[in-house]
Amino acid sequence: MTLKIGLLGLGTVGSGIPRILEEHKQKITQITGTEIVIAKALVKDEFEKQHLAVQYDIPLTTNIDEIIQDKEIQIVVELMGKIEPARSFILKALSNGKNVVTANKDLLAQHGRELIDCASENDCDLYYEASVAGGIPILRTITNSLAGDEVQRVLGIVNGTTNYMLTKMVSEKMTYDRALKQAQELGFAESNPTNDVDGIDAAYKMVILTQFCFGMDIELSDIEINGIRGLALEDIDMADRLGYVIKLIGSSEINDGHVSASVGPVLVPKQHPLASVLNEYNAVFINSTGVGQSMYYGPGAGSLPTATSVVGDIIEIGKNIKLKMTGRPFNVYHETKNLASDEEIISKYYFSLEVPDKVGQVLKFTEIFTRISISYDQIVQQQADGQRARIVIITHSMTKAQVRKVTAALKEVADFKLLATYKVLKD
């Protein structure tokens, strides 16, 4: 008996699938009780992928109907990325009774509910472990292993490109442009790296993680998103001097049933486990009432790591098909969305401020912070040349509403320039 799959896309991740199925054929057959065979692969250009077709004996097609209408294909694996035509192809596959595996975070974050509902209506499985943190088995861990736990906060370094760039900017003082170019050459970056550097890719992953951790379907617009564009080497240096490292952190947390999510540069204490996540590696750090603190670390992109997650999903579906148990959502946990207000979102903050280098300026901005009841944890004058002075403040905990107020007040002072406002992670 064989289980036939149809592959949509034979790119970086897609080409890892036949390799894994071949190299671990005996083990996979033992686990699923059936041999898994790629019946057909959809490609844009048959000639370009001919070497893979020959190497792994995969029939190629440029016509999606040859996969979706093929009655023998039970699982469709979508690895094309982007929204269209991936969304339409998945909906058609599900409507034709085919189970689906995808690594498409853009699609899941923006059209997840539509796809999940379509899968349920057709008694099909829809799995997407590889959509968050590529090779790290994080979604299955949350939905299965932490099913009896209560997650309070999930923090993620879930974009390899920006983590690689920040690592190089910190350790080698590499410029932003050069670091981005290297990340692109190494193949971590999205086809349009804007999504990486502006925090969008990380935000897609936080939408999915929020769904799994808190059962809530949040939208991209519910997330405060800031990228690393414009991050100054002075702030990286200052963070270092104060005992922190700047990371692009996705965060989602729940307080009194209210969820808040953000993506942005965050000052992470050097002793925090997330500070040790370097280069293109990803990590997801969870605070939960049962387990306490746990961190899941590994490669967030790349052919074999991501393809391994995809094959894990295929095997899971293979088992469900055998047990006639397909049709249960990957994550069953569901709660009504309830967003936290700005008064409920609390963090320590880092402010970098440029002021005239003359008498009375510290008093002037301290009056503003005092009026808004914000207390300093640390304050440092970084540079002062007789003209301008650069001041860095780390506050005690304050609300997002206070951040808005202080930011507006500082901007009103003609001589002041607010250079950066970042969250500071507590130990």
Catalytic machinery residues: 205
Shortest Å distance, C-beta 81 to ligand HSE: 9
Nearer to ligand HSE, 78 or 201 (CB): 201
Q: For the chain, how many residues are written?
A: 427
Nearer to ligand HSE, 73 or 268 (CB): 268
267 vs 350: CA distance, rounded Å? 8
Shortest Å distance, C-beta 158 to ligand HSE: 7
Q: Of all helices (H) and strands (E), which one includes residue 91?
A: helix 86-95
Per the structure block, which two tokens stand in for 213? 């951790």
Q: Are strands 258-269 and 244-255 parallel, antiparallel or unpaired?
A: antiparallel
Number of Cβ atoms within 10 Å of the Cβ of 37: 16
122 vs 115: CA distance, rounded Å? 11
Nearer to ligand HSE, 299 or 318 (CB): 299
4 vs 100: CA distance, rounded Å? 12
Nearer to ligand HSE, 201 or 345 (CB): 201
Shortest Å distance, C-beta 132 to ligand HSE: 8
103 vs 130: CA distance, rounded Å? 5
Shortest Å distance, C-beta 162 to ligand HSE: 7
DSSP E strands, 291-368 = 292-299, 346-356
Shortest Å distance, C-beta 395 to ligand HSE: 31
Nearer to ligand HSE, 227 or 300 (CB): 300
112 vs 174: CA distance, rounded Å? 38
Residue 145: CB partners within 8 Å, gap ≥ 6? none
Residues that bind ligand HSE (CB under 6 A): 134, 159-161, 188-190, 196, 201, 300-301
Evaluate whether 190 touches 161 at the Cβ level (below 8 Å): yes
Evaluate whether 423 touches 261 at the Cβ level (below 8 Å): no
Residue 198: CB partners within 8 Å, gap ≥ 6? 225, 227, 229
Shortest Å distance, C-beta 134 to ligand HSE: 5
Cα of 358 vs its chain's centroid, Å? 44
Nearer to ligand HSE, 298 or 327 (CB): 298
Q: Report CA-CA distances (Å) from 376 to 259, 276, 343, 379, 398.
A: 27, 27, 19, 7, 10
